[in-house]
């Protein structure tokens, strides 16, 4: 029997839409079409995209999408805990759909951000923090990625001030 396929206007959501809607519902976010698209994009592109990356990635498929909507939606998703907001990049906030505990590494040369699996991101326990109530923690490493390591070693781009040894 011929199976009539539903016309899918939201083909750019590569992740199954069910999975995206489930994530939104899990964190109490009402699933509008734009929110589904934005959440789907972040879930599909685990490169820690910025607002610009998400906007540029989605705007060809959704011409009505504004950068402000992307910005506000990502802020909302982060506030609700559906995505992680990373401040590892001093110029751009980055977003991560991988909400399981992991650390991040940022290449000082090309700016790419990589996931780093760690045993425990939270070194402080609730007990050791005393009076301080920890609501989030982020662990960042910086250095050079595999691609940039060799280039940097061969030709240092800027003279680094020599640190006085202890
Ligand atoms: Zn790099
Ligand atoms: Zn990550």
- Complete domains list, the chain, with CATH: 17-145 (1.10.10.10)
What mean pLDDT comes out for the span 65-76? 98
Say how far apart CA 7 and CA 101 lie, in whole Å: 37
- Alpha-carbon gap, residue 17 to 39, rounded angstroms: 10
Name the residues around ion ligand 1, CB cutoff 5 A: 107, 109-110, 145, 148
Mean pLDDT of the chain: 83
Work out the pLDDT band at 6, boundaries 50, 70, 90.
very low
Pairing type for strands 84-86 and 94-96 reads: antiparallel
**Average pLDDT score over residue span 124-142:** 76
pLDDT(76) > 70: yes
Q: According to the model, what pLDDT value does residue 14 have?
A: 57
Q: Rounded to whole angstroms, how far apart are CA atoms 18 and 143? A: 38
Q: Counting ligands in written order, which one lies closest to the CA of residue 118?
A: 2
Instruction: Let me know how long the chain is.
Output: 166
State in Å: Cα 142 to ligand 1 middle.
Answer: 10
What count of other Cβ atoms lies within 10 Å of the Cβ of residue 25? 12
pTM value is 0.76
């Amino acid at each position: 029997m011929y199976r009539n396929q539903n016309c899918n206007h939201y083909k750019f959501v590569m992740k199954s839409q069910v999975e995206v809607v489930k994530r939104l519902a899990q964190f109490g976010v009402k699933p509008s079409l734009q929110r589904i698209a934005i959440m789907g994009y972040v879930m599909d592109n685990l490169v820690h995209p910025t607002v610009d990356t998400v906007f540029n990635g989605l705007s060809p498929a959704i011409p009505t999408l504004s950068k402000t909507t992307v910005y506000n939606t990502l802020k909302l998703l982060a506030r609700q805990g559906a995505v992680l907001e990373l401040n590892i990049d001093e110029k751009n906030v980055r977003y991560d759909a991988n909400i399981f505990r992991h650390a991040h590494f940022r290449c000082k040369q090309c700016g790419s951000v990589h996931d780093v699996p760690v045993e425990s991101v939270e070194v402080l326990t609730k007990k050791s923090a005393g009076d301080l109530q920890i609501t989030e923690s982020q662990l960042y490493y910086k250095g050079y990625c595999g691609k940039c390591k060799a280039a940097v070693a061969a030709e240092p781009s800027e003279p680094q001030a020599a640190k006085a040894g202890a």
